[in-house]
Amino acid sequence: MAVSLAFVAKPLMLPIDRILPSKIWPDAVFETKKFKLILASIQEVDLIEPLSVGPVDRKTGHHLLLDGHLRLLVLKQLQRIEVPCLVATDDESYTYNNRVNRLSTIQEHYMIRRALERGVPPERLASALCVDSAQLMRKANLLNGICAEAAELLKDRQFSPEVSTALRQMRPTRQIECVELMIAANTLTVPYARALLMATPSEMLTAGRRRPVDKAVSQEQVERMEHEMANLQDQYKLAEQTYGEDILNLVVARGYIGKLIDNPQVMRYLQKHHEEVLEQFQTIVQSVSMEG
């Protein structure tokens, strides 16, 4: 089956004055740490990630910038004439926001890997990114030992490389379970990842790995944590399976309650005999939509 690409496969060199930003930055942005970091990176190792632009406007010959606004500002400050761009093939501008996100941890990992593969010395790259060499290599080796399914779940997220350190000590099925739990809780933190690692049964760890156990934590507490974590995973999977049906039932119930209290006779009866029930009904009807 043929798959249409959202962007032209190869970057094109476009005149920088033909690229129109879709947002305007205040002058204060030039003093931000992020701007200075990108400036130092481009000065040191040049542009690694191309800009993303929309298709050319036939009348003006301009391209709307979709992603890379700070990079464009830096390139203009450096007085560049041309810039490599990935050109979108879709004319429907309302879909662009679905493709454009701030740089995720895994995207940063790929950028670093590409720079290293091009022969940029690690020390020079670390200097450009304002990190030490050890941290740079942790970012470069981010996905070592991480299964493809877990990496796919994390691809648009931001997290510390130490989260990967905890995950790579687990078998692939357990990695996926833990990533799903962290995403469901919206907590991709190092302490949470380490807690999940401690609660991981020995048979779910990679070969030769021993679960780290805090000296202050007894074996009984670890076993209780394993049991509670297993229950949490079962509850999460059950909630995931019934979520759609539950939302549908809630929407139907909300609509029914709305029609019920729109009836003047029902409204008068509830106001007279069940004021607390009426208050709850009104709260339900006035609540924000639960669209997901």
Residue type at position 197: L
Given a cut of 90, is residue 164 above it in pLDDT?
yes
Cα 161 to Cα 11, 187, 204, distances in angstroms: 29, 14, 21
Q: If pLDDT is split at 50, 70 and 90, which confidence band does 207 have?
A: confident
Q: Which helix (H) or strand (E) holds 87?
A: strand 82-87
Of 112-126, 207-221, 229-243, the one with minimum mean pLDDT is: 207-221
Q: Which residue has the tokens 């400036």?
A: 39
Write down the pTM of the prediction.
0.54
Q: What one-character DSSP code corresponds to residue 6?
A: S
Q: DSSP secondary structure string, 163-184? A: HHHHHTTB-HHHHHHHHHHHHH
What's the rounded mean pLDDT across residues 158-186?
91
- Tens of pLDDT, residues 54-91: 888 888 999 999 888 889 999 999 999 999 998 887 65
Q: If pLDDT is split at 50, 70 and 90, which confidence band does 229 have?
A: low
What's the rounded Cα separation, in Å, for the pair 108 and 86? 17
Beta-strand runs (E) in 74-216: 82-87
Which tokens go with 142?
């981010």
Listed residue (133, 137, 141) closest to 168, CA to CA: 141
- Tens of pLDDT, residues 46-56: 887 788 898 88
Query: Which one is predicted more confidently, 175 or 26?
Result: 175
Residue type at position 198: M
Half-sphere exposure in the Cβ direction for 60 (13 Å, CA): 9
Q: Which residues of 227-242 are buried (b: 16+ CB within 10 A; e: fewer)?
A: eebeeebeeeeeeeee
- Helical packing angle, 105-117 and 133-140, nearest 10°: 100
Query: Which one is predicted more confidently, 235 or 188?
Result: 188
Write down the mean pLDDT value for the chain.
Answer: 80
Q: What one-character DSSP code corresponds to residue 57?
A: P
What's the rounded Cα separation, in Å, for the pair 27 and 25? 6
What's the rounded Cα separation, in Å, for the pair 69 and 83? 13
Which tokens go with 256?
């029914």
Query: Which one is predicted more confidently, 17 or 35?
Result: 17
- Tens of pLDDT, residues 187-206: 898 988 888 888 888 888 98
What's the rounded Cα separation, in Å, for the pair 122 and 112? 9
Q: Which residue has the tokens 């909630």?
A: 239
Q: What is the pLDDT of residue 210?
A: 63
Q: pLDDT over 90 for what percent of the chain?
A: 21
Q: What is the pLDDT of residue 18?
A: 93
Given a cut of 60, is residue 4 above it in pLDDT?
no
Collect all residues with Cβ–Cβ distance below 8 Å to 75 and sequence separation of at least 6. Answer: 16, 42, 47, 83
Given a cut of 50, is residue 138 above it in pLDDT?
yes
Query: Which residues on adjacent β-strands are paired with residue 19?
Result: 63
